Chain A
Amino acid sequence: AQSVTQPDIHITVSEGASLELRCNYSYGATPYLFWYVQSPGQGLQLLLKYFSGDTLVQGIKGFEAEFKRSQSSFNLRKPSVHWSDAAEYFCAVGAQDKLTFGGGTRVLVKP
């Protein structure tokens, strides 16, 4: 069965600092991987996706993620966070048309 683990429940980062959110997955074949962001009171917005090819994928809002098959990881990064990046971030793996989500990481941004 597929599963996703986001080890960090909360992360606090200073504005302008770099951010890395961890995601580990378990899946029997080549996974389709996604990162979504949820701002308070809003839905899930797709940041980026990995289906195949280049293991470093670029997304919206300056985010990128790297697929590492050997580590079963798909970590999300941003070089310099903005106050508007404060939100909850969800990693998901998709197969047979069903997404399995991690528990989410809540990011707090300090001025």
Chain B
Amino acid sequence: EPEVTQTPSHQVTQMGQEVILRCVPISNHLYFYWYRQILGQKVEFLVSFYNNEISEKSEIFDDQFSVERPDGSNFTLKIRSTKLEDSAMYFCASRGAGTNSNQPQHFGDGTRLSIL
């Protein structure tokens, strides 16, 4: 069964540095997402992306964050000038075509980001 792939599985970065989290969505999917889960807290929506632009973002997703689909297969989340509170598990998800949410989102295994 096709799956969403995320790399790396664990990223350790010094505070203030930039980090790029990478995702390869399922190949025929058109909608892409990032979520995060701070340890002990809920999974939170960050951003959705469709047709090469952001379709919705949460208040968490400020100017520190950006997303990009640099080619036909990758979907990246960049965090500039990382802070301690950015430490979390970051999940990428994708879904196929369909109105609103009537196609389920499929999630990757996540990247655990640790900011030191």
Contacts and interface: CB of A to CB of B under 8 A. Distances in A.
Secondary structure class of chain B's binding surface, majority of residues: strand
Interface of B: 4, 6, 31, 33, 35, 41-45, 48, 50, 55-56, 58, 91, 93, 100-102, 104-110
Interface stretch (A14-22, A39-47, A63-71, A72-80): A39-47
A101 B91 CA distance: 13
A34 B104 CA distance: 8
Secondary structure class of chain A's binding surface, majority of residues: strand
A102 B41 CA distance: 10
A32 B101 contact: yes
Given A90-B43, A98-B48, A101-B43, A46 B109 contact: no
Given A34-B104, A96-B100, A97-B48, 20 more contacts: A32-B100, A36-B107, A42-B109, A43-B6, A44-B43, A46-B105, A46-B106, A90-B43, A92-B43, A94-B105, A95-B101, A96-B101, A97-B31, A97-B33, A97-B50, A97-B56, A99-B43, A99-B45, A100-B45, A101-B42
